């Protein structure tokens, strides 16, 4: 006979914060989520329950009842990650474990319980271990998944057991909600006066099915063990990696590339089969004398092309110093993302984009991705703050530039360069800059720019002049107004 253990984690979002030593959980605190267009409390701390709040209350009502209530929206991603971690942890109890999102686990414990000294001891052991990790839990053990689930949630004590073959009797007293049915069916059941599962089992199945359709009877027969409902274990995340161990160390470039090709084609075939690509690849080379060396390459877009990976690895592999050979290799793909296939001949724009990301990858892998950059506009009136450059790999969405109302130089010096005034004036009539002497023919200005007072390092007020010199170049001269002896700088050069 199958035995199933269901773990319910009723306070998972609170436990998550408690484990992070969040001081709010000790006080009046609740986690809320948006249900039917309203923020409602879902998980409440003990102090919040004592203050008269309950789950399902909307946030405005809760604030009215208890003004000192602290709330936080739920974080499904982190909660799922914690549940997943517990799913991995639970394999110490049984090898056959299924996730029961969002807040439970199913363990098929057939033949496992005697290792822990019987079912009650095993349930107690489970709760204790979880309590050690500051996680509140309730446990139900029964012959079927449905019954174990119902006992964990609606059984009286924290540990509820249904002895083998007595599922029906154990469930009889539980409310109809314990059948895990849609809200509509349970409310219909309650309206017809059916309060608990025991009452349901006394009615003929055909009549139930006619009134409430097959969902109810299916759920009921699964819970009572009349129809099979096995625990199907969740598969681990696929790992896209390949490893190769050699009997003798190798060191020739051609041999290394041969090994790399085998590893790459294996990893890439698996990625391609799943319609995925990786943005990063890590190759570990274990040299016999110097230990592990980690080589890594990146791509501007996810890829699963063997040739591209090989080509990018060629250079770091070339740089690697192998004196006595290497005998262990492992290639791992990371930052896995799905790839949408596209038709090459019809989508030339896409093809061009693909080529661009290829050259960004090539340049970035050799020079470093921080040195392949693109411009991004910034809202500011100061010439040096009007734009920033971001890593080309990071910039996914296209940007739009709006034309500036003022004329700006093509070359803008980050640090304005001091000039030597030869003949004073405003701006100087003759001056020396970068070993050349220039004479001002006409000047336009000043354009006075005040600093951004809301910035910490806002700097001083400055005046800019557009100067057309006799010999050709148009320069952008800058000075700080108000100083007794004006210092002049070249801020930029116009086209």
* Binding-site ranges for another protein (CB under 8 A): 352, 355-356, 358-360, 362-363, 366-367, 371-375, 377, 383, 386-387, 389, 392, 398-404, 407-414, 441, 468-474, 492-495
Q: Tokens for 209, please give them.
A: 């099915």
Whether residue 427 has a cis bond before it, omega within 30° of 0: yes
Phi/psi of residue 337, each to 5°?
-135, 150
Closer of 94 and 440 to another protein (Cβ)? 440
Nearer to another protein by Cβ, of 190 and 441: the residue is 441
Q: Which is nearer to another protein, 208 or 490 (CB)?
A: 490
Q: How far is the CB of 298 from another protein (least distance, A)?
A: 15
Residue 109 neighbours by CB under 8 Å, 6+ apart: 3, 4, 5, 93, 94, 119, 122, 141
Q: How many CB atoms lie within 10 A of CB 417?
A: 12
Closer residue to another protein, CB minimum distance, 186 or 365: 365
| E strand spans, 128-240 | 138-142, 159-161
Burial of 285 (0-12, 13-18, 19+ CB in 10 A): buried
| Tokens describing residue 236 | 């681990």
Beta bridge partners of 303: 278
Q: Which is nearer to another protein, 129 or 373 (CB)?
A: 373
CB of 456 to another protein, least distance (A): 23
Query: Least distance (Å) from another protein to the CB of residue 277?
Result: 19
Shortest Å, Cβ 482 to another protein:
26
CB of 228 to another protein, least distance (A): 57
Please state, in angstroms and rounded to a whole number, the distance separating the CA atoms of residues 293 and 325: 12
For another protein, which is the closer residue by CB, 51 or 382?
Answer: 382
Of 261, 372, 350, nearest in space to 313 by CA:
261
d(CA 200, CA 212) in angstroms, rounded, equals 12
Query: Taking CA 376 as the corner, what is the angle to CA 375 and CA 380, rounded to the nearest 5 degrees?
Result: 120
- By DSSP bridging, strand 241-250 and strand 430-433 are unpaired
- Residue listed under structure tokens 């007293």: 173
The alpha carbon of 149 is separated from its chain's Cα centroid by a whole number of angstroms, namely: 30
Q: Is residue 321 within 8 Å of residue 260, measured between CB atoms?
A: no
Give the DSSP H/E element, type plus range, for residue 283.
strand 276-287
In angstroms, give the least distance from the CB of 357 to another protein: 9
CB of 380 vs another protein, minimal distance in Å: 10
CB of 450 to another protein, least distance (A): 18
Closer residue to another protein, CB minimum distance, 286 or 314: 314
Are 55 and 41 within 8 A, CB to CB?
yes
Residue number, 49 or 367, with CB nearest to another protein: 367
Contact (CB, 8 A) for 44 and 30? yes
The rounded distance, in Å, linking the Cα atoms of 83 and 81 is 5
Cβ 311 to another protein, closest distance in Å?
A: 11
Q: Of 225 and 364, which CB lies nearer to another protein in the complex structure? A: 364
Q: Least distance to another protein from the beta carbon of 410, Å?
A: 5
Q: Which residue, 19 or 411, has its beta carbon nearer to another protein?
A: 411
């Amino acid at each position: 006979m199958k035995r199933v253990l269901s773990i319910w984690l009723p306070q998972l979002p609170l436990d998550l914060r408690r484990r992070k030593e969040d001081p709010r959980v000790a006080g009046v605190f609740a986690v809320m989520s948006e249900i039917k267009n309203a923020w409602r409390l879902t998980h409440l701390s003990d102090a919040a329950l004592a203050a008269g709040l309950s789950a399902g209350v909307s946030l405005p009502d809760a604030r009215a009842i208890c003004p000192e209530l602290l709330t936080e929206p739920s974080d499904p991603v982190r909660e799922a990650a914690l549940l997943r971690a517990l799913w991995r942890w639970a394999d110490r109890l049984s090898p056959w474990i299924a996730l029961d999102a969002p807040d439970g686990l199913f363990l098929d414990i057939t033949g496992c319980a005697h290792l822990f000294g019987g079912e009650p001891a095993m349930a107690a052991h489970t709760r204790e271990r979880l309590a050690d990790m500051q996680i509140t839990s309730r446990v139900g053990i029964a012959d079927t998944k449905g019954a174990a689930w119902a006992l964990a949630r609606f059984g009286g004590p924290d540990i509820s057991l249904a002895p083998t073959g007595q599922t029906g009797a154990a469930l009889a007293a539980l409310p109809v909600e314990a059948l895990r049915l849609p809200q509509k069916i349970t409310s219909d059941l309650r309206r017809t006066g059916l309060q608990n599962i025991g009452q349901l089992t006394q009615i003929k199945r055909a009549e139930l099915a006619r009134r409430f359709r097959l969902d109810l009877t299916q759920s009921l027969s699964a819970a009572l063990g009349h129809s099979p409902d096995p625990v199907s274990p969740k598969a681990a995340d696929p790992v896209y990696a390949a490893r190769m161990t050699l009997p003798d160390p190798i060191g020739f470039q051609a041999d290394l590339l041969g090994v790399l090709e085998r590893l790459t084609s294996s990893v890439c075939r698996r990625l391609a089969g799943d319609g995925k690509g990786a943005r990063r690849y890590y190759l570990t080379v274990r040299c016999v004398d110097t230990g592990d060396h980690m080589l890594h390459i990146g791509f501007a877009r996810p890829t699963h092309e063997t040739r591209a990976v090989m080509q990018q690895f060629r250079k770091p592999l070339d740089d690697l110093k192998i004196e006595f050979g290497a005998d262990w290799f492992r290639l791992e793909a990371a930052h896995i993302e799905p790839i949408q296939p596209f038709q090459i001949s019809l989508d030339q724009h896409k093809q061009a984009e693909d080529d661009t990301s290829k050259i960004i990858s090539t340049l970035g892998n050799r020079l470093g991705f921080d040195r392949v950059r693109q411009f991004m506009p910034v809202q500011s009136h100061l010439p040096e703050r009007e734009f920033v450059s971001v890593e080309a790999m990071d910039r996914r969405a296209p940007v739009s530039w709006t034309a500036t109302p003022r004329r700006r130089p093509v070359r803008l010096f980050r640090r304005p360069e001091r000039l030597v005034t030869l003949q004073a004036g405003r701006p100087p009539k003759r001056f020396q800059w970068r070993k050349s002497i220039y004479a001002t023919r006409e000047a336009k200005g000043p354009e006075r720019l005040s600093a951004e007072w809301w910035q910490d390092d806002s700097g001083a007020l400055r005046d800019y002049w557009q100067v057309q010199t006799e010999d050709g170049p148009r320069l952008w001269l800058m000075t700080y107004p108000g100083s007794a002896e004006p210092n002049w700088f070249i801020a930029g050069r116009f086209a």
